Amino acid sequence: SNEPLETEFVVKSKDPLRLRCRYCERELEDVASNIL
């Protein structure tokens, strides 16, 4: 099955919100604006 891997993020900081992807190690900043 090639279902998409469920992404898991580690919260690096809350203000500003920064998440790091557990699998690809990429850091995401300003997550809210990326999601909305």
CA–CA separation, 19 and 36 (whole Å): 16
pLDDT of the residue at 1: 64
Answer for the pair 17, 27: CB distance below 8 angstroms, yes or no: no
pLDDT of the residue at 31: 62
pLDDT of the residue at 27: 81
pTM of the model: 0.46
Answer for the pair 7, 25: CB distance below 8 angstroms, yes or no: no
pLDDT of the residue at 3: 76
pLDDT digits (tens, 9 = 90+) for 1-36: 677 767 788 888 888 888 888 877 788 776 666 565
pLDDT of the residue at 32: 61
